[in-house]
A and B are shown apart, each in its own frame.
Chain A
């Protein structure tokens, strides 16, 4: 089955700096890659997703890039703010599948 590795497990940045979280996946047939944000004590919520026919997608301060050849995708957050502090999960879904395999998460801390 699919295996998703996520790095780093913790990340601290100064407010205003950029943050990058990287994930690799094992199944070359995977075609859907969402990112979820989970604030302390809350449920995971989708912040951005990308499909395999697209290399990059942007939504205001967040962007996701996908490299199908290398089987990795990354989340980029620019101009970080304290409210970006949370745990971020990447996930991957294979062709013909509705199941998501999640990475282990990255705890992002934005220091004011």
Chain B
């Protein structure tokens, strides 16, 4: 089954304790992205990746890191989480056909993070 998976689905942690949220897709998509969703603010992009070893900042990158060592995986790293990073996080992926045209993004199930 074609899908995007995220782990963990729920996480409660404390300020300053490093954490990683994993994202994996099995559709051979080149483009992957992380969003955070907060009430009244919609979906805001944190980081994105056009392909292996190619990553770039989105609209709200502060406090986050990413890596893309393999095509299927795109982990989100919070080196020193703070309470303002409490949010619902979504990973997404899509094709990138080099045509300059965006395509449907497929979302993972979401990770609800609480930082105390």
Q: Which residues of A line the B interface, CB within 8 A?
A: 1, 6, 9, 31-32, 34, 42-46, 49, 51, 89, 93, 95-105
Contact of A46 among B40, B44, B100, B104 (CB under 8 A): B104
A105: chain B residues within 8 A (beta carbon)? 42
Q: Is B45 part of the contact surface with A, judged by Cβ < 8 Å?
A: yes
Asked if A43 meets B110 with Cβ closer than 8 Å, knowing A89-B42, A99-B48, A102-B43, the reply is: yes
Query: With A31-B101, A45-B107 in contact, is A98–B42 under 8 Å at CB?
Result: no
Smallest CB–CB gap between B68 and chain A, Å? 14
A51 to chain B, nearest CB (A): 8
State the interface size on chain B (CB cutoff 8 A).
26
Q: A43-B110, A99-B48 are in contact. Are A104 and B102 (CB under 8 A)?
A: no
Q: Does the CB pair A100–B42 fall under 8 Å? A: no
User: Can you list 17 contacts pairing A with B, beta carbon distance less than 8 Å?
Assistant: A6-B42, A32-B101, A34-B105, A43-B107, A45-B107, A97-B100, A97-B102, A98-B94, A99-B58, A100-B105, A101-B45, A102-B35, A102-B42, A102-B43, A104-B40, A104-B41, A104-B42
8 Å CB contacts to A: which residues of B65-116?
A: 90, 94, 96, 100-105, 107-110
Residues of chain B contacted by A42 (CB below 8 angstroms): 109
Chain A residue with Cβ nearest B33:
A99
Q: Is the interface of A mostly helix, strand, loop or mixed?
A: loop
CA distance A98 to B59 in the complex (A): 14
Complex Cα distance A106/B85, Å?
A: 23
Query: Are the CB atoms of B104 and A34 closer together than 8 Å?
Result: yes
| Other A-B pairs, 6, CB within 8 Å; known A42-B109, A51-B101 | A32-B102, A43-B110, A46-B104, A98-B102, A100-B102, A102-B35
